[in-house]
Amino acid sequence: MIHQLQHLTTTFIAKFSMIIMLSILICLPLSNLKAKETTLNNSITESLKIQLLEDSTFLSKLSEKITPRTNDDYIREIVKDYLLKNPEIMIEMQLILQEKLGGIEEQQAFVIKSLEKEIFQSPHDAVFGNPNGKIILVEFFDYNCNFCKRFYSSMVNLIKNTQTCE
């Protein structure tokens, strides 16, 4: 009886092993087939992409679809709509600009203060108007600047009409 039990166990193990081996042999090509299908699908997709990108008709149609979204008028309209829907952005921009300009004004004030003697009391500068005037007006002038040239006549009129201006 022990011998029969051992024989039965051995037979069972042998048959079970055979079933597992057959399953592996059957499923192995199927799993490889799936990998081959995936590779084939990928290569077909890549081939289609290349064909589409080389097709001038497709590219012109694509360009027609994309172009309206990239022209200046379309972008202006988007920005305008966004700013109208979010006006607080304009306030935020104004505050940031004021901070930057405030920093620049502080730098300019510091430079003027550090060069105060050279700017306001230089013996080499020309004096127009009353040399003993109570108000000192310093003009920073660039001969190549059109705005400076236009302002010159206003400056001369100011000095002529103001007796306390040096």
pLDDT at 80: 92
- pLDDT digits over 128-139, tens only? 877 787 888 888
Confidence band of 93 (pLDDT split at 50, 70, 90): very high
- pLDDT digits over 37-82, tens only? 667 677 788 888 787 778 788 777 777 777 666 678 888 898 999 9
Domain ranges for the chain: 1-55, 121-166
pLDDT at 16 over 80: no
Sequence-distant (6+) residues with CB within 8 A of 62 are none
pLDDT at 72: 81
- pLDDT digits over 99-134, tens only? 888 888 888 889 989 988 888 888 888 888 777 878
- pLDDT digits over 135-160, tens only? 888 888 888 999 988 988 888 888 88
- Helix 56-66 to helix 2-54 angle (10° resolution) is 80
Neighbours of 95 (CB within 10 A): 10
Neighbours of 159 (CB within 10 A): 18
Q: How far apart are CA 160 and CA 43, in angstroms?
A: 87
The structure tokens listed for 5 are 């039990």
Q: How far apart are CA 141 and CA 160, in angstroms?
A: 19
Neighbours of 129 (CB within 10 A): 19
How far does CA 134 lie from the centroid of its chain? 53
pLDDT at 30: 55
